[in-house]
Amino acid sequence: MSFKKNIALVLGAGAGVAIGKAIKDKKICPLCVAKKAVAYTQVHVQDTEKYNNGVALTPPMGWSSWNTFRNTIDEAYEGILNNPTVCYVGADARQSGTFQGEIVAELPDHGDINGDGKISYVMIEGDPENIDAQYRTEYSIKALTDAGYEVECLDDQVGNWDQTKGQELAANALTQYGDAVEVIFCNNDAMALGAAAAITAAGRTVGEDIYLLGVDALDECVEMVNNGTMTGTVLNDHIGQSHTAVDVAIKALNGEKIDNYYWVDYVKVTKQ
């Protein structure tokens, strides 16, 4: 097998360890994989040579070239998109936003705590140039409006994935809008942790007079969901992605047909 026909596994931050475990769990000889696969990390999307005959797993968040790849389909990328031996394994960020909105819609009061017929919310975004942040911002609210609920955006600010910034923005919104704030949506759990601190400092109580949503299912946030201090979060299933990537790599190595995209579902995390 020539070098150019090797399999490239492009790994995000959390997937590297997980994919190693997946290989072990599936009882695949690592040496055999090493002989047949070339692992690239932090590969620039526009370097199409590195994507020939490759399996791409979710790149690190904030990777601007990946945003370009997701947003722009032009001649520069046709070699990737039309190559039957190249595929993307990952999660669709639109689903993570949708799941946030659905968690709110499934609440007994559907997020309308004060009963005025609308869900008044604050949005704390990640990186505004990041496609995942854009999708989570858009689709969390779309899930509510598609379900027939009226919404009111009280504030929408950029927290850049940062916990301290999330706390600052949430505190400012709670000071400015007070009890009118019924739901705080955060594009990730780090900012949700900051927002949780601001909620406590403001004398508000999650589950009683405000709701709080995040994404990532960090251990601390899952614990908060279970003890009621956070309404819900959404798991980006890196374990499922890693197992799928290994399965696809094996199929490719065996000469079997592979698809261009393999989507792994996000998972809602709510109090059990």
pLDDT on residue 25:
57
Per the structure block, which two tokens stand in for 196?
């949780």
Residue 51 has pLDDT above 50, yes or no: no
Q: Which of 48-57, 126-135, 149-158 has the lowest mean pLDDT?
A: 48-57
Residue 246 has pLDDT above 80, yes or no: yes
**Cα–Cα distance list, 150 to 25, 97, 121, 142, 176 (Å):** 47, 17, 11, 10, 22
The residues, any chain, with a CB within 8 Å of residue 177's CB and separated by 6 or more, are 120, 122, 154, 155
Angle at which helix 238-253 crosses helix 15-25, to 10 degrees, equals 60
Q: Hey, how many other C-beta atoms are within 10 angstroms of the C-beta on 110?
A: 14
pTM of the full structure:
0.74
Fill in the DSSP letter of residue 59. Answer: P
The residues, any chain, with a CB within 8 Å of residue 170's CB and separated by 6 or more, are 122, 124, 184, 194, 195, 198, 199
Band of residue 259 on the pLDDT scale cut at 50, 70, 90: confident
Q: What's the average model confidence in pLDDT over 19-31?
A: 50
- DSSP SS3 for 36: helix
Beta strands in the chain (DSSP E): 7-10, 37-40, 54-57, 87-90, 119-125, 151-158, 183-186, 211-213, 232-235, 261-263, 267-270
Q: What's the average model confidence in pLDDT over 234-263?
A: 88
Please give the Cα distance from 168 to 123 (Å, whole number): 13
Contact indicator for 190, 166 with CB cutoff of 8 Å: yes
The residues, any chain, with a CB within 8 Å of residue 29's CB and separated by 6 or more, are none
What mean pLDDT is reported for the chain?
Answer: 79
Contact indicator for 214, 220 with CB cutoff of 8 Å: no
Fill in the DSSP letter of residue 48. Answer: G
Band of residue 17 on the pLDDT scale cut at 50, 70, 90: very low
